[in-house]
Copies of this chain bind each other. A is one copy, B any other.
Amino acid sequence: MVKPELSQKSNMHSVTIRDVARQAGVGLGTVSRVINNSPHVSETTRIRVLDTIRSLQYFPNPTARRLSLGKTLTVAVMAPFFTRPAFIERLRGIESSLVESEYDLILFNIETVKRRDECMRDLPRGDKVDGLIIISLSPSDEDIPILAEPTIPIVLVDASHPHLSFLSRVIVDDVEGGFKATQHLIDLGHRKIGYISDWLESPFNFISSRDRYQGYRQALAAAGLPFLQEYHRQGEHGRQQAQLLASEMLALPDPPTAIFAASDTQAMGTLTAAHLAGLKVPGDLSVIGYDDIEIAEYLGLTTIRQMLQESGRRGVELLLDILAGEQDQPVCEILPTELIVRQTTAAPATS
């Protein structure tokens, strides 16, 4: 009497909850209850169902569950991951924290403005994911209205926006970090301090370079040092680009004795530029980076450490809390920075 009609679709048989029910001689509902650990199942039937589930090699179909549950059990992460080591570190933190949850991690790498805009528009709708983590991409003004009425919880990591205070976020005080870096150089006795950064105004709205720049300016001002336009160079992010910028700066008639690079990657380019210019670091030139990525220690690079992985972890935790309904109010966590002194900074040569 058992018609071998396990499958309907062309591809292949897949044992369903119905098969289990029939085989175990119970109703669908009961099997479902067992699967979902409902307490309203007698121990005997539970065992019987569990047995046939095992013998039939049954696995609940995730897609069907999602549709029925109205949840995707998936979290999206947006960032231009591969442009900077720091983003990967943040991703690492996210992953490590998400593994323990029931959510899958789907990756949205953003390398173009077009894709940024698409994702900003589509993801918050919530038909694809239950939650969204945005790393380092500060939304543009056009995105605000969409994000303002999110169907799903959104958490910003290392990103912010004046009109987005209603979103939970974990940020780092880059103004302070920039201040610390500059102050460190000042404390060493430097008075001619350069700053090398990304474009302060970019389509991707990275705020970190801007904030660090603010800190740089503030530290100079606080020390009564003048801000010189030619001591600030900006360009595309990257080692080579930074190297060029640094070379330009070092070719100045009156070059700086110390350079603050907006990231460790850019600091590396700066080191190369110094080398090419025949300058000893830190003897002739001090260099300080930002981020404390893994390679920084190896290079002996003085830098500002920020809690990269931790930021990802905390972002996930905030998101999961909201998802679990344990958090209604938006939370803003500020992660500290720390000056890590290594071998690329020292007092300036007595001129």
Contact = CB atoms under 8 A, between A and B. Distances in A.
Interface of A: 9, 11-12, 14, 59, 61-64, 66-67, 70, 72, 74, 81-82, 88, 92, 95-96, 99, 104-107, 109, 115, 122, 125, 127-128, 151, 239, 268, 272, 295, 298
Which one of A104, A115, A122 has the greatest number of beta carbons of chain B within 10 Å? A104
B9 A70 contact: yes
Contact of A106 (B81, B107, B272, B295): B107
Nearest to A88: B88
B107 A59 contact: no
B104 A109 contact: no
Given A59-B125, A99-B109, 4 more contacts: A62-B72, A62-B127, A99-B115, A106-B107
A67 B72 CA distance: 12
30 contacts: A9-B70, A12-B151, A14-B127, A59-B122, A59-B125, A61-B127, A62-B72, A62-B127, A63-B63, A63-B66, A63-B67, A63-B72, A63-B127, A74-B106, A81-B92, A81-B95, A82-B88, A82-B92, A95-B107, A95-B109, A99-B109, A99-B115, A104-B106, A105-B106, A106-B107, A107-B107, A239-B298, A268-B298, A272-B298, A295-B295
